[in-house]
Amino acid sequence: MGKFDGKVVIVTGSSAGIGQATAVAFAKEGAKVTIHGQNNDRLKATEKLMLEAGSKIEKIWIVSGSVEDEDVLKKIVDETVKKFGKIDILINNVGIAQKPGTTDIFTFDNFDYVFQVNLRSVVKLSWLAMPHLEKTHGNVINVSSIGSLRPYPPTMYYTMAKAALDHFTKTMAVIYGPKGVRVNSLNPGAIETQFMMRHGISAETQKHIFENTMAPNTPMKRVGTPEEMANVLLFLASEQASYMTGSIVVADGGRSLHNDSATIDPKLLNVK
C-alpha cells in the first residue's frame, strides 16, 4: 500500500528532470497522476517509467501543450477532474530561464515570456485548481529556485519571476490556510537535469559547469538529483508536513550559503 493511494496529483513540466522524477515517485506510492509537457515522446517515456514503478495505465493521464496557452491550463484541471474525480495535490514544476533562441536576455520580449511561463501560468493554474483543492483540503507545491534568494544577472528575469513566485506561495498560504489548503515552495539548487541543455548549452559544457563551478561552490561538493527533489516534494505533499504552509524549503546542498570566504584557506584568516 502506497503513501498516496487514492490521491490525485497534477505535475506540470513532467516530461523530464524534477517533474519526471516526481511523477514517478508519486506513481510508486500509489497516486493517480496527470503528467504534462510539450514533448509527447518524453511524456510517453515518463509514462513508461511510472508503469515500471508499479503504476497502472488507468492511473495515468497525459496532457500536452504550452502553459502559455490558458486553454491548456484549463484542460489540465478539467481533464484531471473528469478522469479521476478530484484533485488532491498540484505540483507547479514548469519553468524556463529564457525564451528559446533569445540572444539578448534583457529584452522585454524575453521578460514577457519568462514571466508568462514561470509566474503567470502558475498563478492561473493555481486559481483554476483551487476550488477542487478546497474540497479535498489538498495542497500546492510551487517549484521555485535558490535564484529567488539573491541577484544573478545572467538570468535576471528568471530569478525575478522566481522571487515573485515565492511571494505568491506565501500569500496563497495566508489566503487558503483557513480553508484547509496548504501552499509551499521547493527551492532547488543545481540539479542534474536537462535544464541548461534546453537553453542551448551542450551536455559537455553542462558537465564542466557542474564539476568545476557548481560542485566546488556547494558545501556538499556535488549537485543534486531529480530524485532527491522528488523526495522533498513527496514529504511536503504528505501528512508528515501537515503543519507546514507558506514555507520556502531550500534543498541545494548548501549552495545558497556559499561565499568567497568559504574557499579561502583558514590559515589566511587566522582561524584555529
Q: Where are the domains of the chain?
A: 8-255
Helix axes 226-237, 17-28, angle to 10 degrees: 50
Grid coordinates belonging to 121: 501560468
From first to last of its 272 residues, the chain has per-residue pLDDT tens of: 799 999 999 999 999 999 999 999 999 999 999 999 999 999 999 999 999 999 999 999 999 999 999 999 999 999 999 999 999 999 999 999 889 888 888 999 999 999 999 999 999 999 999 999 999 999 999 999 999 998 888 889 999 999 999 999 999 999 999 999 999 999 999 898 666 555 556 667 667 777 777 788 888 899 999 999 999 999 999 999 999 999 999 999 999 987 654 444 444 434 44
Catalytic residue among 113, 152, 157, 158: 158
Q: Which of 256, 233, 236, 255 is nearest to 17 (CA)?
A: 233
Q: What is the pLDDT of residue 210?
A: 74
Q: Which of 219, 227, 226 is nearest to 253 (CA)?
A: 219
Give the span between the Cα atoms of 192 and 196, in whole angstroms: 9
Q: What is the pLDDT of residue 204?
A: 76
Helix axes 121-136, 70-84, angle to 10 degrees: 20
For 223: left if phi > 0, alpha if psi spans -120 to 50, otherwise beta; the answer is beta
> Of the CATH numbers 3.40.50.720, 3.30.870.10, 1.10.40.50, 3.40.50.410, which one belongs to the domain with range 8-255?
3.40.50.720
Give the span between the Cα atoms of 101 and 167, in whole angstroms: 29
In the sheet where 89-92 sits, what is the strand order?
60-64, 32-37, 8-11, 89-92, 139-143, 182-188, 248-251
The pTM score is 0.91
Terminal CA-to-CA distance of the chain, rounded, Å? 53
Tell me if residue 158 is catalytic.
yes
What is the β-pairing status of strands 8-11 and 89-92?
parallel
